[in-house]
């Protein structure tokens, strides 16, 4: 990929993704796949006025070795300096840029049970820091191609061509291949806003999903919980775009109100392994039964991670005719696949969607129906014939989705 295009993409991540403010610190978390591009991101963050930019490098094969060789006890221990680093984040609220490029199968064969338990054990140690930072800092998840990932997406191409093809797919769906990326995103954010303003004005009480594939499912919505899409605003008023790309209009449904069955329409990459052709049945708001052609055990493990892992944290609406779906590419990466069509997420909800959330404690958000969990896992349920009908608080029925796309 030519360096001018990449520099503009790096600028997009720094200025539109993070919206780095003068004097802010930045933490970039990246794999080793594209160090030149990460360097461009560092440069663009400084250009935007960052005081200090740190890079945390990760490498999946090393992570795998840790899981294979360390005991669960060692894996679960956070050293004093690691906790200090979290304390620094709470104190300085650095912008966080996650640049993903990992192999979707990179941890396949590793002990999934050990990985889950490590996360379960670490979670309570990290939670106080995460809660203290919640909604206070700018962050962005974006992607660059890794070799193994590119080969997984384009198995027929030689490695170098596969990487180039994945660059193209990433940049085009991120609106960063043509024109001026920053202007493209200003327009895109406005279009998303028009949609969620309409949905918010409806004051919906529930959504009912149906599709020929068997999906027949109703979910309750929280009074005063907004739909949102594209950019968000931190508590201190900084606008940022947490996902690049992003096509979704989403809300957090009411934990405990979900009935019926949903069929996934794309495989789910979870903890470095793929769960394929699966369905989830909900009763009283909980996933009570699941089935899958591949890795059903992993799916069962996922919804048993903690009390909130079997309840919903997100409903996202994306037309089946989305730029990502139209590429015809299955990315095996949630950032892209979740933006291809409608999805749900099991686990944590978004407290910042509640009206007046800045004056609510985490417990008060939970009482209003925002789900709490250590996981937040998206899975795709969009199909070309998906219909969604909303019921408003005053009892009217409104068509939201027809034949996989917006009905308004
Ligand atoms: Zn989502």
pLDDT of residue 70: 96
pLDDT of residue 94: 98
Determine the distance separating the centroid of ligand 1 and the alpha carbon of 81, expressed in angstroms: 33
Whether the pLDDT of residue 39 is over 80: the answer is yes
pLDDT of residue 40: 98
Determine the distance separating the centroid of ligand 1 and the alpha carbon of 241, expressed in angstroms: 13
E strand intervals along 245-339: 249-251, 253-263, 268-270, 273-283, 286-294, 312-317
Determine the distance separating the centroid of ligand 1 and the alpha carbon of 346, expressed in angstroms: 11
Whether the pLDDT of residue 164 is over 90: the answer is yes
Give 134's Cβ-side CA count (13 Å radius): 19
State CA 353 to chain mean position distance: 15
- What does the pLDDT look like over 178-230, one tens digit per residue? 999 999 999 999 999 999 999 999 999 999 999 999 999 999 999 999 999 99
Determine the distance separating the centroid of ligand 1 and the alpha carbon of 316, expressed in angstroms: 5
What tokens does 206 get? Answer: 């529930």
Determine the distance separating the centroid of ligand 1 and the alpha carbon of 38, expressed in angstroms: 25
Task: Place 338 in a pLDDT band, splitting at 50, 70 and 90.
Answer: confident
User: What is residue 93's three-state secondary structure?
Assistant: coil
pLDDT of residue 346: 97
Q: Where do the domains of the chain lie?
A: 3-173, 201-406
Determine the distance separating the centroid of ligand 1 and the alpha carbon of 298, expressed in angstroms: 21
Determine the distance separating the centroid of ligand 1 and the alpha carbon of 389, expressed in angstroms: 19
Determine the distance separating the centroid of ligand 1 and the alpha carbon of 301, expressed in angstroms: 21
Task: Place 359 in a pLDDT band, splitting at 50, 70 and 90.
Answer: confident
What one-character DSSP code corresponds to residue 43? Answer: H
Average pLDDT for residues 148-170, to the nearest whole number? 97
pLDDT of residue 204: 97
Determine the distance separating the centroid of ligand 1 and the alpha carbon of 250, expressed in angstroms: 6
Determine the distance separating the centroid of ligand 1 and the alpha carbon of 376, expressed in angstroms: 9
User: Of 152, 377, 384, which is closest to residue 265 (Cα–Cα)?
Assistant: 384
Determine the distance separating the centroid of ligand 1 and the alpha carbon of 34, expressed in angstroms: 26
Fold of 3-173: Thermophilic metalloprotease-like (3.40.1830)
Determine the distance separating the centroid of ligand 1 and the alpha carbon of 352, expressed in angstroms: 14
Determine the distance separating the centroid of ligand 1 and the alpha carbon of 3, expressed in angstroms: 31
Determine the distance separating the centroid of ligand 1 and the alpha carbon of 314, expressed in angstroms: 7
Q: How many CB atoms lie within 10 A of CB 112?
A: 20
Determine the distance separating the centroid of ligand 1 and the alpha carbon of 156, expressed in angstroms: 30
Determine the distance separating the centroid of ligand 1 and the alpha carbon of 107, expressed in angstroms: 23
Determine the distance separating the centroid of ligand 1 and the alpha carbon of 154, expressed in angstroms: 25
Determine the distance separating the centroid of ligand 1 and the alpha carbon of 45, expressed in angstroms: 26
Determine the distance separating the centroid of ligand 1 and the alpha carbon of 158, expressed in angstroms: 32
pLDDT of residue 277: 95
Average pLDDT for residues 79-88, to the nearest whole number? 96
Determine the distance separating the centroid of ligand 1 and the alpha carbon of 56, expressed in angstroms: 25
Task: Place 80 in a pLDDT band, splitting at 50, 70 and 90.
Answer: very high
Whether the pLDDT of residue 360 is over 90: the answer is no
Average pLDDT for residues 59-65, to the nearest whole number? 94
Across the chain, mean pLDDT equals 94
For the chain, the straight-line distance linking the first and the last C-alpha, in angstroms and rounded, comes to 38
Task: Place 358 in a pLDDT band, splitting at 50, 70 and 90.
Answer: confident
Determine the distance separating the centroid of ligand 1 and the alpha carbon of 338, expressed in angstroms: 6
Determine the distance separating the centroid of ligand 1 and the alpha carbon of 343, expressed in angstroms: 7
Question: Which span out of 103-107, 111-115, 315-319 was modeled with the highest average pLDDT?
Answer: 315-319
Share of the chain above pLDDT 70, in %: 100
Whether the pLDDT of residue 321 is over 90: the answer is no
C-alpha distances (whole Å) from 161 to each of 146, 151, 156, 165, 329 are: 12, 9, 10, 6, 15
Determine the distance separating the centroid of ligand 1 and the alpha carbon of 229, expressed in angstroms: 9
Determine the distance separating the centroid of ligand 1 and the alpha carbon of 99, expressed in angstroms: 18
Compute φ and ψ for 251, nearest 5 degrees.
-145, 170
């Amino acid at each position: 990929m030519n360096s001018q295009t990449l520099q503009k993409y790096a600028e997009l991540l720094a200025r539109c993704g993070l919206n780095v403010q003068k004097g802010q610190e930045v933490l970039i978390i990246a794999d080793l796949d594209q160090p030149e591009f990460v360097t461009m991101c560092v440069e663009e963050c400084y250009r935007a006025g960052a005081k200090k930019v740190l890079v945390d490098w990760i490498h999946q094969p090393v992570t795998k070795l840790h899981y294979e060789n360390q005991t669960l006890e060692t894996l679960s221990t956070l050293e004093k300096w690691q906790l200090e680093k979290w304390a620094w984040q709470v104190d300085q609220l650095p912008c966080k840029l996650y640049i993903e490029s990992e192999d979707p199968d990179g941890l396949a064969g590793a002990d999934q049970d050990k990985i889950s338990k490590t996360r379960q054990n670490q979670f309570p140690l990290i939670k106080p820091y995460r809660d203290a930072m919640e909604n206070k800092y700018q962050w962005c998840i974006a992607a660059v191609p890794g070799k193994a990932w590119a080969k997984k997406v384009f198995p027929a191409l030689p490695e170098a061509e596969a990487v180039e093809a994945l660059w193209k797919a990433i940049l085009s769906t991120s609106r960063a291949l043509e024109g001026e990326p920053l202007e493209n995103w200003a327009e895109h954010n406005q279009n998303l806003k028009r949609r969620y303003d309409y949905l918010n004005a409806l004051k919906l009480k529930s959504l009912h999903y149906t599709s020929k594939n068997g999906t027949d499912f109703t979910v309750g919505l929280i009074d005063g919980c907004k739909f949102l899409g594209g950019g968000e605003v931190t508590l201190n008023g900084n606008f940022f775009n947490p996902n690049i790309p992003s096509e979704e209009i989403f809300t957090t449904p009411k934990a405990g109100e979900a009935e019926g069955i949903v069929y996934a329409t794309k495989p789910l990459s979870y903890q470095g392994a793929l769960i394929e052709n699966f369905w989830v049945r909900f009763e009283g708001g909980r996933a009570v039964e699941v089935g899958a052609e591949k890795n059903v055990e992993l799916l069962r493990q996922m919804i048993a991670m903690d009390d909130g892992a079997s309840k919903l944290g997100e409903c996202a609406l994306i037309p089946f005719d989305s730029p990502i779906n139209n590429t015809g590419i299955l990315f095996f990466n949630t950032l892209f696949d979740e933006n291809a069509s409608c999805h749900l997420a099991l686990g944590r909800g978004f407290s910042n969607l509640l009206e007046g959330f800045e004056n609510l404690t985490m417990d008060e958000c939970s009482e209003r129906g925002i789900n709490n969990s250590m996981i937040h896992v998206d899975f795709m349920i969009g199909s070309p014939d998906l219909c969604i009908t909303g019921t408003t608080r005053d009892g009217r029925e409104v068509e939201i989705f027809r034949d996989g796309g917006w009905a308004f």
